[in-house]
Amino acid sequence: MEKDSFIANILQYISLTPEEEQYILAHVTVRKFARGAYINREGEVNRYTNFITKGSARAYFIDPNGHEHVVQLGIRNWWISDYTSFITQKPGLLYCEALEPTETCSISYENLQLLYEKVPALERFFRLIIQKAYASFHNRILHSLSMDAEERYRRFRESYPEMDMQLSQKHIASYLGMSAEFLSKIKKRLMIKEKNQGKPV
């Protein structure tokens, strides 16, 4: 069921006894969201950290001019939350929204504290997860400083082909820091380039 892929994901990083697996499963909540539903809102404390088992989601914020900016995208087997709000248990800056009918395996802040006590290996797991998130932000900064829009999209498509297929161009464009119209033009450009691949000059 839904929780299988969740446990499988954890086992990629750490080992667990069957008892530990059971204990974890008992402290995980399966949550379901309709398309467009909020997983959490700006100004709220983010109570859960959410592992997506089905569907997709985005985390975004709204700037003072009212424009939305996508900070994070997630599909099956990705985590989504306003992590800063979750770890500090203070009101967050981000909205998280389900982009399709979506299911998550979610851990509440309180349960996570319990889990840390009973299954210390999870400390390591979540440290690794946050280190990955840190490295991913780091990369994103490097790329936004050094690559133009076309390179950023090409790299995104190569790194996350499933996301490129599953998510709407609009959200991908926002995530990559460009307008939806401009991404459309880039895709066209790339298709023409690829069609000419290998043809003689």
Which residues lie near DNA (CB under 7 A)?
A: 35, 67, 100, 148-150, 168-170, 177-185, 187-188
Contact 104, 39 (CB under 8 A): yes
Phi, psi of 70 (to 5 degrees): -80, 125
Residue keyed to tokens 């299911």: 103
| Alpha-carbon distances, residue 118 vs 27, 123, 126 (angstroms) | 11, 10, 14
Tell me which of 15, 18, 63, 201 binds a second copy, using CB under 8 A: 63
Question: Of residues 16, 93, 112, 114, which one binds a second copy by CB under 8 A?
Answer: 93
89 interface partner picked from DNA, a second copy, none, CB below 5 to 8 A per type: none
Q: What is the dihedral of CA 28, 29, 32, 36, to 10 degrees?
A: -80
Residues facing residue 45 across a β-bridge: 91
Q: Is 12 in the site for a second copy (CB under 8 A)?
A: no
Cα–Cα distances in angstroms (integers) from residue 138 to residues 7, 134, 142, 177, in the given order: 27, 6, 6, 15
Binding-residue pattern over the window 125 to 164 for a second copy, x denoting contact by CB under 8 A: --x--xx-xxx-xx-xxx-xxxx-----------------
CA 42/CA 34 separation, integer angstroms: 19
- Residue 182 binds which entry of DNA, a second copy, none, CB below 5-8 Å type-dependent: DNA
Judged by beta carbon, residue 55 or residue 122, the one nearer a second copy is 122
Smallest distance, DNA to C-beta of residue 180, A: 5
Is residue 87 a contact residue for a second copy (CB under 8 A)?
Answer: yes
Minimum gap (Å) between residue 198 Cβ and a second copy: 24
The residues that bridge with 59 in the sheet, in sequence order, are 72, 96
Q: List residues binding a second copy (CB under 8 A).
A: 61, 63-65, 67, 69, 71, 83-84, 87-88, 93, 127, 130-131, 133-135, 137-138, 140-142, 144-147, 177
